[in-house]
Amino acid sequence: MGGDLASSLISSSEEESLLEQEFPELSLGLPPVLGDDGLSANMEDSGENGVVFGEFDDVGRRISSTSLDFKADQRRRRSVYRDVLNSYDESWPRDLISENLYEAKSEILSYIPGAWIEKVGGMKLSDYDVPNTTSLLLIGPKGSGKSSLVNRISRVFEDDQFASDRAQVSCSHNSSVGDGTYFLQEYMIPRGSTSFCLFDTRCLSDDSSKNMEMLKHWMTKGVRHGELVVRDSDSSTLKTRMMCKARQSGYYSSEIRMVNFVIFVVNGLSVLKSLDSDDEAEKNYTQLIATTFNCPFLSFKDDKPVIVVTHGDLLSIPERARVRVHLGELLGIPPTTQIFDIPENRDLTTKLVIVDMLRYSLEHADRNLPGKKWFLGKVCAVYLRACLFMLIILGIAIMTAHIRGTGTHHAQMHRAPPAHHANAHHGPPPLQAQTHRSPPPLQAQTHRSPPPQQAQTHCAPPPQQAKKHRTPPPSTTMDWRAIRHLWLGSEYD
């Protein structure tokens, strides 16, 4: 079915006949005119043919190289097809299958997010952004069986084969009735657990651009339970009906979950039809799968989504193997380990395939968990601490400079006054001498007329002149120096 086990025993002779039936070119050699060396096997060497062989020697080498590549590719395909057929071998003892199923289920039931993180690159568990619940997103074309897969997975872990379906299954493929799920639905596995959940989504559109837009929104913004998915291409009647249902429900979850891994569900019967049919609509099915699968938003680094093939119970084992081999070549993934065939069966082998598929998905989800965003926070914190430290140092330096400048200023203030007083004391006498000496000639002219008045005017000015020269100069100099020390600092002294 997928992974390692399946549901039918195939003998070696039947295997060879199936290989020849599904890949008839494998039983065919090169054209009769060409041998293994790329030259004609029926032509005899002669004089006339010698010229022909000489002219077509290079062509023969090119044909030989091409034939070798063709043979190598066909051998590889034959080997892959044989491995896929062997995976449907049910020769395993039932007790061994039951034991393997029990152990695999125990690992899934004991799973917690981040349990399978690979500690590489010096990273620890605390360095990853581990979610509270691992979210697996189910996507697929219309009628691929996403909702049915949810119900089968739920039954495997609840051990209740008679439990009611959790997801609503659409049994009609009439577009006028609807195309199944319109609201994002979250299903915890198992019921009541919070370890991981499945998100059932609306089917893919025939328009690849709309699918890219929808997938980009889910993968970058996250998914939310109960959210309505409406497309621009929906008819007005459908939009009105969906909006009415949305108002009636009146509830959607406020918690947004980021998608951790993607499960791509495809209909095996539709894939087989696209291989053998000439109808363009049926051929477009595999083209839609390939275009959507290669959407860069669905991949986590180098890990691509896992493929689940449904409706295998409607196909024969060779057809199921052919579908898986074709999808592996189309999508560039190994069909034996990344493509799981899960039919509508309830046997132990199908249950084991379901558990193996979940184990694969959860392991890759944990392996691609993003790192915490503490790098930016740590850098910002360090930067803020550095800035704060620099501001503190700068403040201390300013305060120290101010204190030292103030001390220097006070010291200069204590030393400066004697010099000013000396200048004020020694300065005026020459002025007094000058003013005292200059008047005598004038006094000699005016002394004759009013002697009494001249004596009074000569004695009065000296006290006034002394006051004028002693008081203003010190006060003007002191005010200027005080302003310079307070505003410019001691270094401008």
Residue 107 buriedness (CB in 10 A; 0-12 / 13-18 / 19+): middle
What is the predicted pLDDT for the residue at 388?
85
Q: In the block, which residue shows the tokens 């051990």?
A: 159
Contacts of 433 (CB under 8 A, 6+ apart): none
Q: In the block, which residue shows the tokens 């080498």?
A: 61
Phi, then psi, of 339 in degrees rounded to 5: -120, 120
Whether 263 and 354 have beta carbons less than 8 Å apart is answered as no
What is the predicted pLDDT for the residue at 468?
47
Return the CATH number of the domain spanning residue range 92-372: 3.40.50.300
Question: What distance separates the 2 farthest-apart alpha carbons in the chain?
Answer: 166
Please compute Rg for the chain using Cα positions: 48
What is the predicted pLDDT for the residue at 253?
73
In tens digits, the chain (493 residues) has pLDDT values of 555 444 444 555 655 666 665 555 444 443 444 444 444 444 444 444 444 445 545 656 666 777 888 888 888 888 999 999 888 877 788 888 899 999 999 999 999 999 998 888 778 888 899 999 999 999 999 999 999 999 999 999 987 777 788 998 877 555 445 557 899 999 999 998 999 999 999 999 999 999 999 999 999 999 999 999 988 888 888 888 888 888 766 566 778 999 999 999 999 999 999 998 888 888 899 999 999 999 999 999 899 999 999 999 999 999 999 999 999 999 999 999 999 999 998 889 999 999 999 999 999 999 999 888 754 455 566 667 788 888 899 888 888 887 877 666 666 665 655 544 444 444 445 444 444 444 545 444 444 545 554 444 444 455 554 444 455 555 445 555 656 655 565 555 5
DSSP state of 262: E
Contacts of 19 (CB under 8 A, 6+ apart): 26, 78, 81, 82
Domain boundaries, the chain: 12-77, 92-372, 376-417+480-493
The model carries a pTM of 0.68
CA angle 109, 110, 114 (to 5 degrees): 115
Q: In the block, which residue shows the tokens 């070549």?
A: 329
Whole-angstrom Cα distance, residue 435 to residue 442?
A: 11
What is the predicted pLDDT for the residue at 15?
57
Contacts of 89 (CB under 8 A, 6+ apart): 5, 6, 8, 9, 10
The helix/strand/coil state of 144 is coil
CA atoms within 13 A on the CB side of 236: 0
Phi, then psi, of 186 in degrees rounded to 5: -100, 135
What is the predicted pLDDT for the residue at 337?
94
CA angle 261, 214, 296 (to 5 degrees): 50
